[in-house]
Structure 1
Amino acid sequence: MRYYIAQRLFWSVVIVFGIVVVNFVLTRIVPGDPTTALVGEFPVPQAYIDQIRHDFGLDQSIPAQLYYYLVHVAQGDLGFSFVGRQNVLPLILRRAGVTLILMLPSLTLASIIGVLIAVRAARRAGSSLNTFLTALSLAGASVPVFWLAQMLVMLFAVRLGWLPAQGMVSVRANYTGLAYFLDLLRHLILPSFCITIFYLAIVVRVARTSMLEMLHQDFVLTARAKGLSENQVVVRHVLRNALIPVITVIGYNFGYSLTGAILTETVFAWPGIGGLFVSSIHYQDFPVLSGIFLLAATAVVAANFITDILYAVVDPRVRVATLKPA
């Protein structure tokens, strides 16, 4: 098990390093000049522009910029934002925290409810309930998130006036304590619902397919022949063996939690990392873009690493297949 974990950890570090290098180069070769965001659109002396480019290292070659970037990243320094005029790391972490407030509860609900619905549907294969749940999951995965978000805003915020349309908290009120928490929940309902519906549909489809496949295996027939109840067969035998592809999907969802709500955050003006990402592209804020890519890549690789470990916990065959050779 230790060798398995060490092997996965080594390749995770290698993958993150490769992604950092590729993303850095890609952000530097796109058309445009980031000094426009630094000096504005007003005419300024060329000497001032040259000084700005020198101060931010933009006058150096891409390999030289990459070398200094890697050195600073190793020290925990992701650079200085051209537009925000502040260090990149605290800026990204603050925005990432706001995004996680939206994403983590949504993904957790989607994972738990999705597995429960899949178990229910698989046990009623061929029934009208199974058909309804299958159609519902297909619709949830097919409906564009940005369209659903706008429809929810039009219905519950504009027409009915029950919920706020945008933002994270009410800007005209200075709530504290429990009142602040309740106000946050009101703003969280609509965007969280959009994200939950989308990822719930994915989990249901994968989990249901895996459950149906396991229900027809020989070990399930053996368990039933031994006199086990249907609940015991499903919980103790079918569900555990069906979790492998489900764990993959759930790990994939959580891996993209930092960047998976860009459209939703844009529609609801949620002040997370999605808005920062869009503005950084517009102003070509290279340090912020590189920092977001680094954070997103680390999150995805970390989620995959945890998923691999869960594989070994759920399926002992994974541990046996990756034992350190003698």
Structure 2
Amino acid sequence: MLAFAVRRIVYSVPVLIVASFIIFWLGSASADPLAPLREKNPPAPQNVIDAETVRLHLDQSLIPRYFSWLGGIFTGNFGPSVVSTASIGHDLGDRFLVTIRLIAVAMVIALVLAVLLGVLTAVRQYSKFDYAATFVGFLFLAMPAFWFAILLKQAGVSFNLAVGSQAISTIGQASVPPPQGTGAYILDIIGHMILPTISLALISYAAWSRFTRASMLEVMNSDYVRLARAKGLSRSQVMVKHALRTALIPLTTVTALDIASIIGGAVVTENVFQWKGMGDYLVQSIRMNDVYATASWLLLAATVVIVFNLIADLLYGVLDPRIRYA
């Protein structure tokens, strides 16, 4: 298993390096960090523009700038921001912690619902429960992420008005100022996470439950499952130890592939609920033509995608020993 993991990590390194170059190249070609200075009225003095050109390394060609940026990342220096007092690494770290808790909780909820309902609908194929779950799944699957988030936010606002208090938090990732006490602070964080998490989780669960159902139906009709039943194993043993383990392999694949979409959904969700996470940071960086901040954000997102695909590769080896020993 260790050799299998090392091979996957080695394969991931060149992918990340190539992705980092493409990200930096496209980011540099798509925006001019000095455009706001040049377009000011009255225009900024030329010596100010020249000083910013040197500070942002715009006096260098693309390749030296890329290697300077890439080398600085290993020391925690993500490059100079257009805001001279800002630290890209520090800001990204704070925003990442806000976003990753949303993504992690939403993915856990979505996976639990997808596996539970996927298995139940496969076992009760063509029943009323199967038709109802299928309808609900397609309903969430058809909803745009931003529209569903807006509906949930409006529902929360309407509920607060109806009860006459702030029962459901609809704005921000935490109260300002934060409540005193560890327990009160944790409850405040959980309260602010409810609506964004529901928004992100239900959109993801809808597609994953369909994959789980289809995979379970295929596995349940396989020869080794019928043999397990013929040997006298109980239905729960056959479903959990034999069918479900194999059926989780396609779900693992689609979950790893969907992580980029989940990050994109988190960007939209955070902007709807006015979270100060990575989504808000990306939008601000693009608006300010902050090339280094945008490229660093995209590199972090690419790293998360690669890490999740690496985890999926390792899970393949756990779920199917034939992959690990190949």
TM-score (norm 1): 0.92
Structure 2 residue 165 is matched with structure 1 residue 166:
no
Is the CA contact (8 Å cut-off) linking 2:98 and 2:276 kept in structure 1?
A: yes
Secondary structure of the residue aligned to 2:154 is helix
Deviation at 1:99, TM superposition (A): 0.6
- Paired with 1:171 and 1:6, the residues of 2 have a C-alpha distance of 45
Is the CA contact (8 Å cut-off) linking 1:265 and 1:271 kept in structure 2?
A: yes
1:163-216 alpha-carbon deviations (Å, 9 max, x no partner): 222111222664432222222222111111101101111221111110010010
- Paired with 1:299 and 1:274, the residues of 2 have a C-alpha distance of 15
Is the CA contact (8 Å cut-off) linking 1:259 and 1:273 kept in structure 2?
A: no
Partner of 1:113: 113
Partner of 1:179: 184
Deviation at 1:92, TM superposition (A): 0.4
Partner of 1:306: 311
2:217 aligned residue (200, 204, 212): 212
1:191-230 equivalences in 2 (<5 Å): 191-230=196-235
Is the CA contact (8 Å cut-off) linking 2:55 and 2:80 kept in structure 1?
A: no
Is the CA contact (8 Å cut-off) linking 1:38 and 1:82 kept in structure 2?
A: no
Partner of 1:324: none
Partner of 1:16: 16
- Paired with 1:201 and 1:53, the residues of 2 have a C-alpha distance of 48
- Paired with 1:173 and 1:66, the residues of 2 have a C-alpha distance of 40
- Paired with 2:200 and 2:124, the residues of 1 have a C-alpha distance of 27
Deviation at 1:67, TM superposition (A): 2.4
TM-score (norm 2): 0.92
1:264 aligned residue (266, 269, 280): 269
1:20-99 equivalences in 2 (<5 Å): 20-30=20-30, 32-37=31-36, 41-42=40-41, 43-83=43-83, 85-99=85-99
Secondary structure of the residue aligned to 1:168 is coil
Name the stretch that deviates more: 152-161 or 142-151: 152-161
Structure 2 residue 246 is matched with structure 1 residue 247:
no
CA 173–245 in structure 1, closer or farther in 2 if over 3 Å, else same: closer
Paired residues in the alignment total 320
How much is the aligned-residue C-alpha RMSD, in angstroms? 1.9
CA 237–187 in structure 1, closer or farther in 2 if over 3 Å, else same: same
Secondary structure of the residue aligned to 2:40 is coil
- Segments of 5+ residues of structure 2 without an aligned counterpart are 162-166
Name the stretch that deviates more: 1-10 or 272-281: 1-10
1:295 aligned residue (300, 303, 318): 300
- Paired with 1:158 and 1:34, the residues of 2 have a C-alpha distance of 42
Secondary structure of the residue aligned to 2:281 is helix
Partner of 2:164: none
Is the CA contact (8 Å cut-off) linking 1:251 and 1:303 kept in structure 2?
A: yes
Q: Using the aligned pairs only, state the percent identity.
A: 34
